[in-house]
Amino acid sequence: MNVIAVGVRVSYASDVNITLNPPIGGLLILLGAAALLIVLVIVLMWRVEVAMLRRRVAYGERHRRVQADALIDSEVMLSSVFDQAPQAILVIDRSGHIVRANDHAATIFAIPRPALIGSPVDNLIPGHALRSSIDPSLAQREVAAERDLPERPIYAMRSGQTFPIEIFSNWIEVGGEHLQVMMATDISRRSSAEQALRESEQRFRTIMANAPIGMALMSIEGRWLEVNQAICDITGYSRDELSQMRYQDGAHPDELALDLKMLDRLMAGEAPSYQSDRRVVRKNGGYLWVVLAVSLVRSNQGEPRYFIVQMKNAEERRKAEMALRDALALQSSIVSSAPTSIITTDASGLITSINRNAQRLLQYREAECVGQMSQVALHDQTELLLRSRLLMEEEDIEVLGDFEAVVAYASRGRQDQRPWTFIRKDGRGVPVLMSISALRDDVGIITGYLSIATDISVQKRHEVEMRAALTEKETLLREVYHRVKNNLQVVTSLFNLQLRTLPDSPARSALADAAGRVRAMALVHEKLYQSRSLAAIDLGAYLSDLVQRLAVSSGSVQRGIEVVCNSPPMPIGLDTAVPLGLIVNELFSNASKHAFANGRSGRIDITVGVTDGGVRIDVVDDGIGLPDDIGNLASTSLGLKLVRSLSSQLDASFDLQSGSGTRATLVLPVSRVVS
């Protein structure tokens, strides 16, 4: 190993002298220069890194500011979209409570927005808890997949009322919390519109199926899509046969080209519909004249969809038109020889024609009436005045003259047929039934009036005679009812006389029961001859009187038993009143005798009401109730046997219940009540 010696001499007085060996000194200089260069490079790289770091920091700060501004803008936009969305938006937590809602939600649910926050969603959508929207066992998997739930119409609550909504919901995860976002749309109007559309379509199909004329739907190509029975009757083909045919198959060859041309016009929009007389080729090879009306149905986009075809048998009309030509020649003779009085006038009431029957009835000659006399002169003036007052007071029709009173309805297009009194030339009144109608020209202006009157003198006389006979029969019937009532009262009196001679015994009790039954029947006849209608009595008044009399005769009031009868006015016939009165008599008597033993007080209620099952009558007491052997009692008690027999006679159901008292219920069919 070589040793290199370096000699150094240091002088503190003036300077430092370093003496190096030349080769070694050069090497050290190079090493120092290299170290200095390395330091410079490191410093330069550090300064570059610092500069780049500063640029990255400045860029990141600007980027963060841009992102923050974008985030703020995004939040503002999302908040605006949330608040102004046309659907109600609810954000619901896993417990089913609303954590956020927009203004539209407050509107459709009619609840202020602050009140919605924190409330259960079940309050708004009953039964729509989170478990009804998503299976809890699948919650995490579905949240992770963010699976949208399908739309489904349900019913929500608003101000205590339900209304249909359509919802769309989805699960989201925010800050580790699972929330459900639900969008709800009020579809009340749409549901109403859909329902109206269904009802309209149903009405159309009902009208089509039951129309007295032929109606059908025909495709653009001419195939029958749907036909009613009237079309089948006109053509002679069945529905199945027509479904395989085209319109062209049943059109008359001479008219087919014109029909196709008219259909083309409809397709081109040159006409909305057309109507004409056409001949239809029937299945048997014959022809039938029909009135054919065709219209085109287009889609909302204006595209032709199908034709509505209507056919009406015109054979009778065409025959009538041919007959009318012959009838016109005979019109004058028919009118003049008609058995009714026919008078025509102009619009002011001046007579323009009068047939022979009217001349005979009124004793005027044609020359005295036509162009000389107003129809008003033929009417009773007092009758015209009363008619004018009636029109003004009851129908608010202003009557400007006597003739206006005659034609008030006809001039307004209304049918008018009523009794009038014509005054003959000799001043005698003649009752007639007159119908009057307006005669109009082609544009609808009234040119005159046609009056057709029938002499009803004979009918009036018969009505007077029938009214007198009816009054006589009513008087006789009332007398019969009165006599029956008196006879029944005599029977009751005989029973009462016999009762005074009998000691307390089963015979006396049975006789008293029989007297009560006769009394109930007598009251029916008393009510009948006192009522306006001899065929029915008022059930409420009848039961009230019957119960009051039973309470007095049984001594219920003296024994401290309160008797209450509640029954609305309800007319019933004789065939119902008699057995019903006997039933109530038996039930009341049983309650009065047996329910309040040993001087016990209480209450008996007789209640009548109308239910879905019919007319219900309840006789209820708060007494001791029925004995335990009620089955044996029902088989041995004459009263209960009578009640069940009479109930069967009335087609009524009877039920007997015992508890804290006794309730007897009788349900009559509604048909037993006189309408």
Give the end of a domain, one of 394, 420, 455.
Answer: 455
14 in a structural domain = no
239, amino acid identity: R
Encoding tokens for residue 500? Answer: 């005074």
Tell me the CATH number at 635: 3.30.565.10
Angstrom distance (rounded) from CA 575 to CA 596: 33
Spatial CA neighbour of 291 closest among 320, 257, 318 = 318
Residue 87 host element (H or E):
none
Q: pLDDT at position 133, please?
A: 44
Query: Quick one: DSSP state of residue 197?
Result: H
Q: pLDDT at position 520, please?
A: 66
Q: pLDDT at position 451, please?
A: 92
Whether 432 and 315 map to the same domain: the answer is no
Whether 419 and 468 map to the same domain: the answer is no
- The dihedrals phi and psi of 271, each to the nearest 5 degrees, come to -155, 145
Residue 452 host element (H or E):
strand 446-455
> Which residue positions in the chain have pLDDT lower than 70?
1-26, 28, 67-75, 78, 127-153, 328, 469-490, 494-495, 497-500, 505, 507-513, 515-517, 519-534, 628-637, 674-675
Q: pLDDT at position 148, please?
A: 43
Q: pLDDT at position 315, please?
A: 87
Encoding tokens for residue 380? Answer: 């009773």
Q: pLDDT at position 423, please?
A: 92
Angstrom distance (rounded) from CA 261 to CA 518: 87
268 in a structural domain = yes
Residue entry with tokens 């005659």? 406
Angstrom distance (rounded) from CA 332 to CA 323: 16
639 in a structural domain = yes
Whether 311 and 279 map to the same domain: the answer is yes
Query: Quick one: DSSP state of residue 374?
Result: B
581 in a structural domain = yes
Taking CA atoms, 27 is separated from 23, 32, 33, 586, 629, in Å, by: 7, 9, 10, 148, 141
98 in a structural domain = yes
Encoding tokens for residue 662? Answer: 């006794």
Give the end of a domain, one of 455, 472, 506.
Answer: 455
Whether 304 and 179 map to the same domain: the answer is no
Angstrom distance (rounded) from CA 437 to CA 449: 6
For the CA atoms of the chain, what is the radius of gyration?
Answer: 52
Whether 175 and 268 map to the same domain: the answer is no
Whether 312 and 205 map to the same domain: the answer is yes
Whether 512 and 392 map to the same domain: the answer is no
227 in a structural domain = yes
Pairing between β-strand 602-611 and β-strand 561-566 as defined by DSSP bridges = parallel
388-397 per-position pLDDT tens digit: 888 888 888 8
Number of independent structural domains in the chain: 5
Residue entry with tokens 């027509």? 242
Give the end of a domain, one of 428, 455, 482.
Answer: 455
Contact 423, 411 (CB under 8 A): no
Q: CB-based burial of residue 421 (10 Å sphere; 0-12 exposed, 13-18 middle, 19+ buried)?
A: middle
Whether 166 and 204 map to the same domain: the answer is no
Whether 639 and 579 map to the same domain: the answer is yes
3-class state of residue 406 by DSSP: helix
Whether 543 and 675 map to the same domain: the answer is yes
Whether 197 and 313 map to the same domain: the answer is yes
Residue 570: domain span: 538-675
333 in a structural domain = no
3-class state of residue 491 by DSSP: helix
Q: The sheet that has 152-158: what strands, in order across it?
A: 98-101, 88-92, 177-186, 161-174, 152-158
Q: pLDDT at position 293, please?
A: 93
Residue entry with tokens 């992770």? 144
Whether 162 and 251 map to the same domain: the answer is no
| Count of CB atoms situated within 10 Å of the CB of 498 | 15
- Say what the pTM is: 0.34
269 in a structural domain = yes
| Count of CB atoms situated within 10 Å of the CB of 412 | 10
Tell me the CATH number at 347: 3.30.450.20
